[in-house]
Amino acid sequence: MSTPSFPLIGISSSNVSPSDVQGGQVAAPASYLRAVQSAGGTPLIIPPGLSHAQLAEILARLDGLVLIGGGDIDPAQFQGRPHPRVYGIDPIRDDLDLSLARMAAESGKPFLGICRGIQVMNVALGGTLFTDIADQKEQPLRHDWYPDIPRNHLAHEVTVDPSSKLGQILGGQQFEVNSLHHQGLEQIASAFKVSAYATDGLVEAVELPGHPFGIGVQWHPEWLQEHAPQRAIFRALVEAALKS
């Protein structure tokens, strides 16, 4: 089979509550699709509710994967502390995302986790989360800059390990990023290397050593496409997908 000119990049999705007689919708924000397409990939939405066998077959046909942001993972998935701010739990979506993350990690399929996506990666491989950063982390920054704030608002700085794959992609050590989450990584899964921190010590990026491309970021680079380093994250994913 010839190498694809526009590698197929799967985009995870979520269920949207029924709002008409069609019984609801499956959706992924267009910002992710645009970022992948601008980087040279062809985005394809993967719906929740598929069997593990179907997901494995889909992943085998894809060249790469993006695990997108959204509602919270069920704390029961990581023995997390209950919190009243936990929202948007969807067991069917959790199963989709956690299964895809494990399959991509094990198979060497290039994948990128964004916001909820990095949290999915960590939980899938045995890590835990703060179920609410503001209430559970000592002296935290504000990380929940939403909903009535522009999604490209640069909320805080992150420091990136220059020796990491992410550091090489971004081409620097300090970057201002947006921040649209109230949960975050607490105990890091042993398979991961931490590649970026916020100034309050919260882990902002992880990667899988030895994997062709297994990177998660806590910010939303799809909303920062005016910044070349953030575009480079998607371009690096597409380049890795071309080699897969």
| Residue 52 designated active-site | no
Spell out, as residue ranges, where the chain has pLDDT lower than 70: 1-4, 19-21
Q: pLDDT per residue over 47-101, tens digit each? A: 999 999 999 999 999 999 999 999 999 999 999 999 999 999 999 999 999 999 9
- Residue whose token pair is 């029924």: 18
Task: Give the chain's domains with CATH numbers.
Answer: 8-243 (3.40.50.880)
My answer on whether omega of the bond before 29 falls inside 30° of 0, hence cis, is no
Question: Can you name the residues that pair with 99 across neighbouring β-strands?
Answer: none
> Which one is catalytic: 115, 143, 186, 207?
115
The whole-number pLDDT of residue 52 equals 96
Indicate the pTM of the whole model: 0.96
pLDDT at res. 20: 62
Query: What is the per-residue pLDDT for 242?
Result: 96
Residue partners of 98: CB distance under 8 A and separation at least 6: 73, 77, 120, 123, 124
Distance separating alpha carbons of residues 20 and 39, to the nearest angstrom? 35
Residue 146 region by backbone torsions, left for phi larger than 0, else alpha for psi between -120 and 50, else beta: beta
Q: How far is residue 63's CA from residue 55's CA, in Å, rounded to a whole number?
A: 14
- Residue 157 is among the residues annotated as catalytic for this protein: no
Clarify whether 220 is annotated catalytic: yes
Report the C-alpha gap between 215 and 122 in whole angstroms.
Answer: 11
Query: In the block, which residue shows the tokens 């209430």?
Result: 135
Alpha helices in the chain (DSSP H): 30-38, 52-61, 91-107, 116-124, 133-136, 165-170, 228-243
Q: What is the pLDDT of residue 24?
A: 81
Token pair in block for residue 83 = 């919190």
Residue of 143, 156, 220, 239 marked catalytic: 220
Are the beta carbons of 8 and 44 closer than 8 angstroms? yes
Q: What are phi and psi of 79, to 5 degrees?
A: 55, 40
